[in-house]
Amino acid sequence: MSDFKFIIDGKPVDTTESFPVLNPATETVIAQCPKATIEDLNNAVAAAKKAFPPWSATPDSERARIVHAIAEALEAHSEELCQLLIAEQGKPMGGFAGLGAGFEMGGAVAWCHSTADLELPVEVIQDNEVARIEVHRKALGVVGSITPWNFPLMIAIWHTMPALRSGNTVVIKPSEYTPLTTLRAAQIINEIVPPGVFNIVTGDGALGAAMSAHPDINKIVFTGSTSTGKKVMRSASGNLKRLTLELGGNDAAIVLPDTDVASAAPKIFATAMINNGQTCAALKRLYVHEDIYDEMCDALAAIAKSVTTGDGSGEVDFGPVQNKTQFERVCQLAREAKDSGARFLSGGEAPDIPGYFFPVTIVADIDDSARLVSEEPFGPILPVLKFSDVEEALQRANNSSSGLGGSVWSSDVEAATALASRLECGTAWVNNHAMIQPDAPFGGVKESGFGVEFGRYGLEEYTSIQTLQVSKA
């Protein structure tokens, strides 16, 4: 692996402390990552604060050009970045349905280009003989980004490109489990942006907590667990930071009795197991009408038994669970479900080999009260639950503190759309799930967070409104 250093004010920084980064497929150390101190964080924030006035004053068209240039530079290094993703995150290059490291790389580039093309023009709400009133969008200042380990490159881009595009400067802290890809991307970005515009520090949760409380950070963008999101929110109250929190999800899907199982099952499987199930908006609770329940269970089990799990550096469909803590959680939820009498149609037991491997697992005949259903597993395991009444299924689907995404599956698109609109979630899909795009807002309700990302709505969250009123009377 390369020599990894974090970057402050455009310069690599030497540190006295470091921490190991593991390959989850082998449990071996692949690199030592520099560990930032609070002084390093303060220096990074100071550099971003200093760089903010000239960057926010940079012409809008020039900032757009620079974000496009970042996309092109990342794409030019795509092979290198993908290899880092495979090594530290565990996902294969292609993977099942083409949703592996190459997919994440392509998504990062696409989101850069799409964000570069966004605009927030001045809105004129009155212009008459009395006054002209304009609404301007103003950059906030220093944006702190705290990213998770499941999509370390793509989510870093989601957080930071809208910040740069709207005139803010950045301090980013990637997950300590997967810092390498983000560090390398930051090096590439710093070859394009002025010093201090894009700073990166690496460390554990204590560093993230210090960012959340830092008085000179004006906004925090956080993707991660609900419990950590609540801590971020409390810490951010010191200076009333703006927040965008995309937190945990426990997405439910309702499959109506007229659904074509042969057509729907592969899509359901892919959207439940995307990134080995380690995706906030993956389908995690599947409610299937009793008329087609057995048929759907058999179809999903057949797909699960046909896929391969192994080291992402090889030709496999799925890699390991990313870290030991998450792996042990998935194992525990599976054991509890099995002990309660649930029927396992595939998988269910981790092999006794090095690496955090858990086979793709389909679980039937399980109760809503089981932790595998009521809590987000964040791994390659899907509970399939039976229902007889649609209203009952809707109530069960909505009976969750989470509200990120949900879906309805049916041959009757009109009926499915009407039902989907009643799901208590930020995004509702019909005959699909977990499909997001850079021009459509995405965010959660209830304990899945608040604020949205992507498109014009997401870009607005990196700005404040200034109303400019010019009197003519």
pLDDT at 2: 57
pLDDT at 411: 98
Beta-strand (E) ranges in 309-410?
Answer: 343-346, 361-364, 381-387, 405-409
Helices 293-306, 261-273: axis angle to 10 degrees equals 50
Bridge partner residues of 406 (DSSP): 252, 428
**Distance, CA of 66 to CA of 79 (rounded, Å):** 22
Architecture of domain 6-247+446-471: 3-Layer(aba) Sandwich (3.40)
Are the beta carbons of 154 and 95 closer than 8 angstroms? no
Domain residue ranges of the chain, discontinuous segments joined by +: 6-247+446-471, 251-430
Are the beta carbons of 359 and 349 closer than 8 angstroms? yes
Please say if 331 is a catalytic residue: no
Considering the candidates 82, 280, 331, 425, report the single residue annotated as catalytic: 280
**Distance, CA of 418 to CA of 471 (rounded, Å):** 48
Please say if 414 is a catalytic residue: no
Considering the candidates 246, 453, 460, 461, report the single residue annotated as catalytic: 246
**Distance, CA of 341 to CA of 348 (rounded, Å):** 13
Are the beta carbons of 288 and 296 closer than 8 angstroms? yes
Class of domain 251-430: alpha beta
What is the dihedral angle through the alpha carbons of 434, 437, 438, 441, rounded to the nearest 10 degrees?
Answer: -60
pLDDT in tens, the chain (473 residues): 457 999 999 999 999 999 999 999 999 999 999 999 999 999 999 999 999 999 999 999 999 999 999 999 999 999 999 999 999 999 999 999 999 999 999 999 999 999 999 999 999 999 999 999 999 999 999 999 999 999 999 999 999 999 999 999 999 999 999 999 999 999 999 999 999 999 999 999 999 999 999 999 999 999 999 999 999 999 999 999 999 999 999 999 999 999 999 999 999 999 999 999 999 999 999 999 999 999 999 999 999 999 999 999 999 999 999 999 999 999 999 999 999 999 999 999 999 999 999 999 999 999 999 999 999 999 999 999 999 999 999 999 999 999 999 999 999 999 999 999 999 999 999 999 999 999 999 999 999 999 999 999 999 999 999 999 999 98
pTM comes to: 0.96
**Distance, CA of 377 to CA of 348 (rounded, Å):** 13
17: burial class by Cβ within 10 Å (0-12, 13-18, 19+)?
A: exposed
**Distance, CA of 407 to CA of 389 (rounded, Å):** 17
Q: How many CB atoms lie within 10 A of CB 473?
A: 5
